[in-house]
Amino acid sequence: MDAIDRHNRYAMIQRVKAYWLQGVLADSLHGADLIDINLAYRPEAVGATATDVSVAQKWQTAVYDTPIPTETSITELFEKANRELLLLGEPGAGKTTLLLHLVTSLLASAANDEQQPIPVVFNLSNWQIQQPLDKWLVAELSHTYEVPSELGAAWISNNQIILLLDGLDEVERDGREACVAAINQHHANQRGVALMVTARDHDYHELTKRLHLNQAVFLQPLTDSQIESYLVSRGLIGTDLQTVLQADSGLRELARSPLMLNIMALAYTQQSLDMTASPTNRKADRKRLFEVYVSQMLTYRSSEIAYQPEDSIRWLAWLAHRLSQTNRTMLFVENMQPNWLPRPQQRGYADRLKLIIGLACFLIGMLGGVLGVPAHGWSALIVGGSLGAFAAVWTALSGRLLVRSRANWYKIETVEMVSVSLTWVGLGFVVGALSGLLLGLLIGFLLNWLVGVTAVPWWLLCALWIGIDLAVEFSLVRGEVKMRTTPGEGIEYSKRYGVLISGVVVVVTAVLPLLLLGLLNMAGMGVNWSATTPWIISMGLYLGLMSGLAYGGLAALQHRRLLTVFCRDGVLPADPIHFWNYAAERSLLRKIGGGYTFIHALLLDYFKQISQSE
């Protein structure tokens, strides 16, 4: 393993640790103690032969759970299954938490032994039907962990990744059978791959196909003694909550889920849990319990409430709806796109961007015209206005910012790293200068003929301007995206690069022509400075603006405009990152590196239902 491979491996280990262990496992619900879960073997849930069952037979298949000794860790179970394991459980049973305990152990092994594969968690909710699993895994490594596609493909094909596939039940219902088939196909093609899948027990047993893995384990519901021990550890054994759970069988059944028990305890510490459960409608009870939990999380520490609870609920419901529409469970600010707007608004959003940029082009052209009036008379205004209007219309219709760079009005493409290839600077300048020379001769002839603007060496200026344009476009290369550690980091980098590149191009475009014209003047070739300088200033500002937009500025402008529309429509506050951090502090969202996710898939479902009912 060479130095580059070792560096990539170390970076990925740190990335998984930051995303999942520091961001999720260490930030458990208000620091609540983790509850020991009883496990049992469920061998009939997996297998490559007799375990694929028909719809008619599946509920007739007997389920025989073999208890597993409580001292057996999830790592031991994974190794005993030869690293092929299915983890089943009811909603909120602790599947993801147990999976992350496995990540902790496997990550330590990978850090100590570079021959060990790296454990990586993939959310299956993002899988698209008919998508081969290996292609999807590479895309997820790129999207979620920012691993270059070529490197990700090498890791997958060489079994350097332990695939921890979380949430088979979160795949669209019509696509779950196909997802199982895709996992089985990848498992068959990629011999020796280490693989673990989590799924809700009920949803998995509704499928007619089974995963072809070595073993399956089931997370059993909490027992009465486990519930009591948990309440003792939280200091709630002598409270009304204990009395309510003893008297209400419906609530008691909900409390057998670690997540629900955790939420009951958290809600009760803020306010008495005043609800009566129904033994026949656990879904409705869960909804009411989440209502209590969300209400208490948004209103505790009343002196620190930054947003009205009804606004917070509306914003979170909208976020849950958008994440579900895009088959994502994690939000990165950089992934917010114009297609999150209703379709009729997307055209208006793009038109407004074109108008803003077009107006800037026109004003720059007019500036050159105003500055040129002393030397050229009022005809300079006609030239400046015409050039500015032409640049505005050309940009809007063609989408071109520079000679080669194009604007994607309907997609925000961040620029998070830019490197300079010096070998291409000269080539780009030469090609541009030759093209600009011919264009400059034509422009000079036309302007002299049409409006009498003379005494400007257009042949030289155009050669320099287009040479600088192509030197920029040939030499600037968007580099590898780095790991985002703070929300909105990609947008911030885009803004910085846009401003930096714009400033450099303005300076170069202004200074270089002035230097060359000064040399010509020294050589005896008289230069009319008052006639030429206005157009140098105007073109420097124009090229600076367009270069800045092409290399990050447009992404920052699009993002700012998108947030303005969302805020106007009432679906997000003016500063969404501040709000999401606020929601994370109140245990509704969880901040993971540069992104956010709901603390649990059930809470995401709850807010999604709210959005659907509005």
Digit-coded pLDDT (tens) for 26-46 = 555 444 445 678 899 988 888
Positions of E strands within 349-423: 418-420
Give tens-digit pLDDT for 180-229.
Answer: 999 999 999 998 899 999 998 888 988 888 999 999 999 988 888 888 88
Average pLDDT (145-171) is: 91
pLDDT of amino acid 31: 43
Mean pLDDT across 13-37: 66
Identify the pLDDT of residue 383.
83
Q: How far apart are CA 226 and CA 218, in angstroms?
A: 17
Of 214 and 460, which is predicted with more confidence? Answer: 214
Of residues 131 and 65, more confidence is placed in 131
pLDDT of residue 51: 46
Topology adopted by domain 3-220: Rossmann fold (3.40.50)
- 3-state SS record for 147-190: CCHHHHHHHHHCCCEEEEEECHHHCCHHHHHHHHHHHHHHHHHC
Of the candidates 135, 105, 129, 131, the residue with the CA atom closest to the CA atom of residue 118: 105
From the list 374, 372, 392, the residue with the least C-alpha distance to 382 is 372
Residue 128 has pLDDT above 90, yes or no: no
* Residue that wins the pLDDT comparison between 180 and 17: 180
CA distance to 264, 405, 420, 455, per residue, from 290 (Å): 9, 49, 52, 76
> pLDDT-based confidence at 54, cuts 50/70/90?
very low
Tell me the pLDDT tens digit for each residue of 534-551. 888 898 899 999 999 999
More confident residue, 353 or 594: 353
pLDDT for the residue numbered 32 = 46
Question: What is the overall mean pLDDT for the chain?
Answer: 83
Strands (E) located in 381-506: 418-420, 476-478
Sheet holding 330-332, edge to edge: 330-332, 595-598, 589-592
Contact in structure between 117 and 194 (CB atoms under 8 Å): yes
- Domain extents in the chain: 3-220, 224-300, 343-569
Of the segments 33-47, 108-122, 510-524, which one has the largest average pLDDT value? 108-122
